[in-house]
């Protein structure tokens, strides 16, 4: 087992696109939802080891705004799994002093799930450990659009002039605007795209693409990703002194 506590360079904020659940299930001749259930084990492991490593924020892409287009039985099963996690797994977060925040267009969920989100967030509100952000019914285009609408309303009301709008101001109105931007984004299952995830927030994040399907993403795979991150030289669009 890797020693996460021994890492000397640790991202403050890690974002993960948990991909490959369906392929994992298909390879075992199982229904797609079996892959999502198997992915819960990887999720627990990842949360545990990120907290041990000293990560401050872990953002997880759980359900995109495009996922509603999947087969109805799969969407229904995903909603049941989400509801179960909000009502049952949340107590484990409290036990381990972990906070929860859900981002995305929550109006798309049933009233029962919306109430469970509010309850889960309030239940963990006083926890002081790592913050776990779950992106559900989330899309980067939606995120930037809702921020632009907020600023447009402020201009219309006379609180702002169009010239007052800067990237910094817009960045305060996208989700997670109060948090450090992700230092590292991990995507599993070998795909190398962002799939409309945190498009604004990931502008200067380091990207790591793991070949592991999400249910197979274990402590070793996470450690490899963190070692890869530690080897990077972050420039944020600038030039390293002395570089040609």
Residue ranges of the annotated binding site for Mg(2+) are 19, 206
Is 196 one of the catalytic residues?
no
**Burial (CB count within 10 angstroms: exposed 0-12, middle 13-18, buried 19+), residue 235:** exposed
CA distance 100 to 102: 7
Report the b/e string of 69-94 with b at 16+ CB within 10 A: ebeeebeebbbebbbebbeeebeebe
Extract the annotated binding site for substrate: 20-24, 36, 64-66, 68, 70, 187, 193-195
Per the residue annotation, which of 3, 67, 126, 143 is the catalytic one?
A: 67
Element (DSSP H or E) covering residue 137: strand 131-138
Asked if residues 178 and 171 have their Cβ atoms less than 8 Å apart, the reply is no
CA distance 197 to 65: 10
Per the residue annotation, which of 19, 137, 143, 183 is the catalytic one?
A: 19
Q: Is 152 helix (H, G, I), strand (E, B) or coil?
A: helix
Extract the annotated binding site: 19-24, 36, 64-66, 68, 70, 187, 193-195, 206
Report the interhelical angle of 72-84 vs 111-123 (nearest 10°). 30
CA distance 150 to 144: 10
From the CB of residue 139, how many other CB atoms can be counted at a distance below 10 Å?
20
Closest to 226 (Cα-Cα) out of 59, 14, 80:
14
Active-site residue set: 19, 67
């Amino acid at each position: 087992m890797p020693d996460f506590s021994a890492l000397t360079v640790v991202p403050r904020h890690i974002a993960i696109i948990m991909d490959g659940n369906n392929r994992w299930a298909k390879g075992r001749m199982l229904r797609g939802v079996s892959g999502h259930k198997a992915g819960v084990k990887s999720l627990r492991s990842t949360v545990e080891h990120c907290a041990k490593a000293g990560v401050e924020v872990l953002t997880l892409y759980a359900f995109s705004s495009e996922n509603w287009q999947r087969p109805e039985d799969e969407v229904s099963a995903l909603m049941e799994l989400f509801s179960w996690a909000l009502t049952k797994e949340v107590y484990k977060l409290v036990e381990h002093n972990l906070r929860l925040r859900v981002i995305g267009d929550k109006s798309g969920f049933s009233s029962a799930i919306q109430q469970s989100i509010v309850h889960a967030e309030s239940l963990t509100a006083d926890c002081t450990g790592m913050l776990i952000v779950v992106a559900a019914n989330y899309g980067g285009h939606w995120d930037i659009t809702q921020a632009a609408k907020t600023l447009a309303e402020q201009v219309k009301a006379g609180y702002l002039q169009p010239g007052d709008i800067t990237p910094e101001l817009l960045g305060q109105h996208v989700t997670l605007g109060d948090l450090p931007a992700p230092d590292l984004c991990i995507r599993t299952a070998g795909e190398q795209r962002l799939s409309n995830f945190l498009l604004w927030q990931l502008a200067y994040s380091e990207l790591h693409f793991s070949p592991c399907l999400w249910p197979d993403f274990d402590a070793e795979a996470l450690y490899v990703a963190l070692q890869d991150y530690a080897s990077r030289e972050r420039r944020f669009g600038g030039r390293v002194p002395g570089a040609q």
